[in-house]
């Protein structure tokens, strides 16, 4: 045979488009050309593949070798095509007689010695190979993450030589086992450690139940960051599908999750000096940013007004759509970014708004760093005040643990999923209308309040959604006045801005 075809995949956002490696060996002046790869990587791949074949004990054919990576217009990066090219050459030289290569997909960069080096983005590859029921041949270091894909047929190839013997059926490499999802969860922090702050804990529970965005507002040292860090411990567990989605994004960045942590929701807390690209993703080879790494989990922005306003404004679109499209001159990549935003801030640049150290103007300038549309997207905003006098010296009964709260959250979330198939925060259109019907008096009451506070229609829907979650936590079929009243209480920023203007 002088022509061989080997399957592999490129990486584009969260997708893994198919790439076919065609190798043709012809008589003539010896040469080795690769087409379909960007120019700089061609030379590198050629040198690596040649040395790896020779150092694995194969003779490099002294013929005219042409390798084509199709489709040509698909952007392809880096060393991941080395292994499929090497296998293609072996097959075209009749070194793999009778082997049906169409059952396999090959991935891996080759070291000059013939060892197979790790690549990025193994989960999308394993998922795609599984769909076509092909064996997925991967570098050893990628197996742990790939094993998260249930029933994918992954095989680790330590080196080109060992893979060659496996394909010939001589020394079989073992089929990787998929890792079952661990069901016990461990968290670093527990809600029990937070003294008092019952209203803030309640808000955290509501936010967890309905996946609502949340903003804590208050003077320094009252427990805002502490509370936010504990959100993870009361969220419902991820489904296996969600866990794989999240792990896939981490795998694209070359991040390895530990076995225990792969089913835990991610918690990302980027520093306020972060750039827009760090937050939403980017680069010439588009890579996901913090909002995608926080997919299905929590994005915590501490000291919110310290972030550059332009950086915060890029969050507006993905917060609404749950995904981000990164466009670069030559290519475009989509990354999911359905995160729950938790933010914390002081009400004034000095920390307290009544300490008299900042003028009303300075405070206003500080608060104005947050755009209205961003605040509009935060369903629950509340003040975390200093603890009342006496609470620290009193002997207090034990506070509720995260596990207790999580049990209620899970129940409330289940109701939402049964009713509309999504958490309340994501409701829109008809399902939103159906889930949040009010009796006439309550509808009028809410409309009057909105008029008084000059709130937007988006804010109106947010209040309805939060009230729906409160009703779900209480096991009520319909939203009632007390639920609405509690939801209306979570508008601390609106109140603060209104007070400042007076
Ligand atoms: N309610 C509380 N219960 C227990 N410890 C608390 C509480 N509030 C504050 N602390 C203590 O104060 C420390 C600081 O709390 P935290 O970082 O949450 O404050 P913060 O409100 O985020 O302040 P800042 O506005 O300065 O960021 C905590 O590490 C904890 O030791
Ligand atoms: Mg803090």
CA distance 423 to 469: 9
Q: How far lies 47's CA from each of 21, 113, 342, in Å?
A: 17, 12, 49
Cα 63 to averaged position of ligand 1 atoms, centre (Å): 71
Task: State the chain's mean pLDDT as an integer.
Answer: 88
Q: Both 69 and 7 in a single domain? A: yes
- Please check whether residue 406 lies inside any domain of the structure: yes
> Number of folded domains in the chain?
2
**194 CB within 6 A, ligand 1:** yes
- Please check whether residue 175 lies inside any domain of the structure: no
Q: Both 145 and 215 in a single domain? A: no
* Protein residue whose Cα sits closest to atom 14 of ligand 1: 221
- Please check whether residue 438 lies inside any domain of the structure: yes
Residue 369 belongs to domain with CATH number: 3.40.50.300
* Protein residue whose Cα sits closest to atom 27 of ligand 1: 220
Cα 499 to averaged position of ligand 1 atoms, centre (Å): 26
Each as own residue / partner, the long-range contacts of residues 422-425 (CB below 8 Å, 24 or more positions apart, any chain) are 423/210, 423/211, 424/209, 424/210, 424/211, 424/212, 424/465, 424/466, 424/468, 424/469, 424/472, 425/210, 425/211, 425/212, 425/213, 425/340, 425/379, 425/465, 425/469
- Please check whether residue 335 lies inside any domain of the structure: yes
Counting ligands in written order, the one closest to the CA of 196 is: 1
Q: Both 263 and 127 in a single domain? A: no
- Please check whether residue 179 lies inside any domain of the structure: no
139: containing domain: 3-167
- Please check whether residue 182 lies inside any domain of the structure: no
Q: Both 232 and 151 in a single domain? A: no
pTM assigned to the model: 0.87
* Protein residue whose Cα sits closest to atom 16 of ligand 1: 223
* Protein residue whose Cα sits closest to atom 1 of ligand 1: 195
Cα 46 to averaged position of ligand 1 atoms, centre (Å): 57
Q: Both 305 and 433 in a single domain? A: yes
Counting ligands in written order, the one closest to the CA of 399 is: 1
**pLDDT tens digits, the chain, 502 residues: what are they?**
589 999 999 988 888 999 999 999 999 899 999 988 776 777 788 899 999 999 999 999 999 999 999 898 887 877 889 999 999 999 999 898 888 999 999 999 999 999 999 998 888 999 999 999 999 999 999 998 888 888 889 999 999 999 999 999 898 888 888 776 666 677 888 898 888 888 999 999 999 999 999 999 998 888 899 999 999 999 998 888 888 888 889 888 877 766 667 778 999 999 999 998 899 888 777 889 999 999 999 999 999 999 998 889 889 889 988 889 888 766 788 899 999 999 999 888 887 767 777 788 888 888 888 888 888 889 999 999 888 777 777 777 778 899 999 999 999 999 999 999 999 999 988 898 888 888 999 999 999 988 888 888 888 889 999 999 999 999 998 999 999 999 999 988 877 777 777 6
**343 CB within 6 A, ligand 1:** no
Cα 303 to averaged position of ligand 2 atoms, centre (Å): 7
Residue to probe by mutation, ligand 1, list 196, 225, 387, 400, most atoms within 8 Å of CB: 225
Which tens digit of pLDDT belongs to each residue from 452-495? 888 888 888 899 999 999 999 999 989 999 999 999 999 888 77
């Amino acid at each position: 045979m002088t022509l061989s075809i080997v399957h592999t995949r490129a990486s584009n956002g969260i997708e893994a488009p198919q790439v076919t490696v065609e190798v043709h060996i012809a008589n003539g002046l010896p040469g080795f050309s690769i087409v379909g790869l960007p120019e700089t990587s061609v030379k590198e791949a050629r040198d690596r593949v040649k040395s790896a074949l020779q150092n694995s004990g194969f003779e490099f054919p002294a013929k005219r070798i042409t390798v084509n990576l199709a489709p040509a217009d698909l952007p392809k990066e880096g060393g991941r095509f080395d292994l499929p090219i090497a296998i293609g050459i072996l097959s075209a030289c009749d070194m793999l007689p009778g082997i049906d290569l169409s059952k396999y997909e090959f991935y891996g960069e080759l070291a000059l010695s013939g060892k197979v080096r790790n690549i990025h983005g193994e989960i999308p590859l394993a998922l795609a190979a599984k769909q076509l029921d092909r064996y997925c041949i991967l570098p050893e270091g990628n197996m742990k993450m790939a094993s998260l894909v249930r029933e994918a047929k992954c095989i680790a190839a330590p080196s080109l030589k060992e893979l060659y013997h496996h394909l010939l059926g001589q020394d079989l490499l073992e089929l990787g086992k998929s890792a079952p999802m661990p069901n016990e969860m461990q968290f670093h922090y527990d809600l029990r450690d937070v003294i008092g702050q019952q209203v803030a804990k309640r808000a955290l529970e509501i936010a967890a139940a309905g996946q609502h965005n949340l903003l804590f507002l208050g003077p320094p040292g009252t427990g805002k960051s502490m509370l936010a860090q504990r959100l993870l411990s009361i969220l419902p567990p991820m489904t296996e599908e969600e866990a794989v989605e999240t792990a896939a994004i981490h795998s694209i960045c070359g991040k390895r999750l530990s076995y225990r942590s792969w089913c835990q929701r991610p918690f990302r807390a980027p520093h306020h000096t972060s750039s827009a690209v760090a937050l939403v993703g980017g680069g010439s080879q588009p890579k996901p940013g913090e909002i995608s790494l926080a997919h299905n989990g929590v994005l915590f922005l501490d000291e919110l007004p310290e972030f550059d306003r332009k950086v915060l404004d890029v969050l507006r679109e993905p917060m609404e759509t749950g995904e981000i499209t990164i466009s670069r001159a030559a290519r475009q990549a989509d990354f999911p970014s359905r995160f729950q935003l938790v933010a914390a801030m002081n009400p004034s640049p000095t920390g307290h708004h009544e300490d008299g150290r900042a003028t009303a103007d300075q405070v206003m300038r500080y608060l104005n760093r947050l755009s209205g549309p961003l605040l509009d997207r935060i369903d629950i905003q509340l003040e975390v005040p200093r603890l009342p006098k006496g609470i620290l010296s009193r002997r207090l009964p034990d506070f509720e643990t995260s596990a207790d709260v999580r049990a209620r959250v899970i129940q409330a979330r289940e109701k939402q999923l049964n009713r509309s198939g999504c958490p309340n925060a994501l409701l829109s259109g008809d399902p939103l209308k159906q889930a949040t019907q009010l009796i006439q008096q309550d509808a009028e009451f809410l409309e009057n309040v909105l008029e008084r506070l000059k709130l937007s229609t988006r804010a109106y829907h947010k209040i309805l959604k939060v009230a729906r979650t409160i009703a779900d936590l209480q096991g009520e079929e319909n939203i009632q006045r007390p639920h609405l009243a509690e939801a209306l209480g979570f508008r601390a920023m609106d109140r603060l801005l209104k007070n400042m203007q007076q």
